[in-house]
Amino acid sequence: MSHRIIVLGAGYSGAIAAGRLAKRLHREDVAITLVNAEPDFVERVRMHQLATGQDLTPRPFAEMFAGTGVELKLAKVTGVDVDHKTVAVVDENGAGQLSYDTLVYALGSGWNTRGVPGTAEHAYELASRPGALRLRERLARLGAGQRVVVVGGGLTGLEAATEIAEARPDLDVALAARGELGDWLSPNGRRHLRKVVGKLGITVHEHAAVTGVEAGRVALAEGEAIPAEVTVWTTGFAVHPIAQATDLRVTGAGRIVVDETMRSVSHPDVYAIGDAASAMGAGNKPLRMSCASGTPMAWQAADAIAARLTGRKIPKAPLGYFNQCISLGRKEGLIQYVTSDDRAVRAVLTGRFAALYKELVCKGAAWGVAHPTLGLPVRRHRVTREQVTSGEAVRAVA
């Protein structure tokens, strides 16, 4: 009898966790199942590239996990019962149920309309591949001079607006930010951002509180409006409602609350990682939804699970930040160095070199999914006899 580990979601964090668990644990002792709705890995960090007509490298999971010992199950997760330790799924054969001994929840996130009226009906999103493809198709149909308004002045909004303006210089691109443009960046970072945004001809609406999206315009507070043939909504991410419907302890936004090992604080056989989890980072500040957080969270969860199952000391993954890497189109970029708790410091890297740096970071993130132990040789450890699965002892001891 082997210990059943189910990983839900094969995005950056889930795919890394599954692959790393397979590298750390002996194949005869564990059955690792990775459940994902789609058959290939989606590089979410490149969705603005996909939306502007660029083609991304296909990354089928069947190739990525061939020979690793991870079993891929193509299915949509519809619910989790943490009391009975089951996951409800729907696949091509209909509804089914999977049982686990340890669950890793990594279902990621989607766009966040923040309840602003008209957003779901009239705005486009690029937090998901279907959303990015829909936007791609719409942008392709726009004619010269037509207006695209990107709502949201955060990292995704900056990347989206600059990518669209660079790819389609014939369009009239605007960015609506709640505060000042790049107000969290260092003075050097802000200066560079303004320079690039100006060169690309992007109109910036600062202190713009968007109160609604309508066909053909974005409504602002105090009755003003920005005309928009296409509105792109990028005001942060929201998690899927599955965790909130369970008995797991979640935040008000539905993210699973975890300890420093990524283990649920309410259910010790559940781990959560990536955007779906609420974990504390350096300075006791919550980690933000990002690949930059999701990757070390995945390392930490996989190593903690493996350590607990094999009776070893739990190693600590570095959960601090180092830089924010922002693409500003394909030819420009901004690398803003930060403290471990994500506050901008003076140093920045700009220009073509920064664009190349960011490209390498994106490539590295995808490489990291296929090489979850960073290519380092590892020894698979045996699960100890004390670890029980549904009342049955796991066979084999080191």
Ligand X SMILES: Cc1cc2nc3c(=O)[nH]c(=O)nc-3n(C[C@H](O)[C@H](O)[C@H](O)COP(=O)(O)OP(=O)(O)OC[C@H]3O[C@@H](n4cnc5c(N)ncnc54)[C@H](O)[C@@H]3O)c2cc1C
The closest of 69, 71, 72 to 28, measured between CA atoms, is: 69
Smallest gap from Cβ 67 to ligand X, in A, equals 21
Q: Could you tell me if residue 273 is left (phi over 0), alpha (psi between -120 and 50 degrees) or otherwise beta?
A: beta
Q: How many residues bind ligand X (CB under 6 A)?
A: 35
Examine residue 42 and tell whether it contacts ligand X (CB under 6 A): yes
Task: Decide the pairing of beta strands 256-257 and 237-239.
Answer: unpaired
Examine residue 163 and tell whether it contacts ligand X (CB under 6 A): no
- Phi and psi angles of residue 176, each rounded to the nearest 5 degrees, phi first: -110, 115
Contact 390/101 with Cβ under 8 angstroms? yes
- Nearest residue (CB) to ligand X, 106 versus 230: 106
Examine residue 156 and tell whether it contacts ligand X (CB under 6 A): yes
Residue 207 makes CB contacts below 8 A (sequence gap 6+) with: 177, 178, 179, 180
The number of helices, as runs of H, and strands, as runs of E, in the chain is 9, 25
- Nearest residue (CB) to ligand X, 123 versus 394: 123
| Given 38, 81, 180, 260, the residue binding ligand X (CB under 6 A) | 38
Examine residue 243 and tell whether it contacts ligand X (CB under 6 A): no
Contact 160/234 with Cβ under 8 angstroms? yes
Q: Which stretch binds ligand X (CB under 6 A): 116-124, 283-291, 332-340, 390-398?
A: 283-291
Examine residue 76 and tell whether it contacts ligand X (CB under 6 A): yes
Q: CA 80, 85, 112: angle at the middle one, nearest 5?
A: 20
Q: Which stretch binds ligand X (CB under 6 A): 176-184, 270-278, 302-310, 315-323?
A: 270-278
- Nearest residue (CB) to ligand X, 120 versus 393: 120
| Given 108, 153, 189, 296, the residue binding ligand X (CB under 6 A) | 108
Residue 201: CB atoms within 10 Å? 12
Q: Give the separation between CA 331 and CA 167, rounded to whole angstroms.
A: 11
H helix intervals, the chain = 12-24, 47-51, 61-64, 119-122, 129-141, 155-167, 187-199, 291-310, 351-370
Give the footprint of ligand X on residues 1-20 (CB under 6 A).
Answer: 9-14
Q: Could you tell me if residue 262 is left (phi over 0), alpha (psi between -120 and 50 degrees) or otherwise beta?
A: left
Examine residue 21 and tell whether it contacts ligand X (CB under 6 A): no
Report which residue's Cβ sits closest to ligand X.
11
Q: Which stretch binds ligand X (CB under 6 A): 26-34, 39-47, 211-219, 331-339?
A: 39-47
Examine residue 74 and tell whether it contacts ligand X (CB under 6 A): no
Contact 353/329 with Cβ under 8 angstroms? no
Q: Give the separation between CA 164 and CA 393, rounded to whole angstroms.
A: 56
Residue 27: CB atoms within 10 Å? 12
- Nearest residue (CB) to ligand X, 10 versus 328: 10
Q: Which stretch binds ligand X (CB under 6 A): 38-46, 190-198, 305-313, 347-355?
A: 38-46
Examine residue 275 and tell whether it contacts ligand X (CB under 6 A): yes
Examine residue 274 and tell whether it contacts ligand X (CB under 6 A): yes
Residues in the chain: 398
Give the footprint of ligand X on residues 286-305 (CB under 6 A).
Answer: 289-292, 294
Examine residue 171 and tell whether it contacts ligand X (CB under 6 A): no
- Nearest residue (CB) to ligand X, 1 versus 74: 74
- Nearest residue (CB) to ligand X, 48 versus 205: 48
Q: Give the separation between CA 265 and CA 5, rounded to whole angstroms.
A: 18
Examine residue 48 and tell whether it contacts ligand X (CB under 6 A): yes
Examine residue 98 and tell whether it contacts ligand X (CB under 6 A): no
| Given 5, 30, 116, 127, the residue binding ligand X (CB under 6 A) | 127
Q: Give the separation between CA 386 and CA 350, rounded to whole angstroms.
A: 54
Examine residue 152 and tell whether it contacts ligand X (CB under 6 A): no
* Binding-site string for ligand X from residue 307 to residue 336, where x marks contact by CB under 6 A and - marks none: ------------------x-----------
Q: Give me 168's structure tokens.
A: 């389609």
Residues in contact with ligand X by the rule CB under 6 A: 9-14, 35-38, 42, 44-45, 47-48, 76-77, 106-109, 126-127, 156, 159, 240, 274-276, 289-292, 294, 325
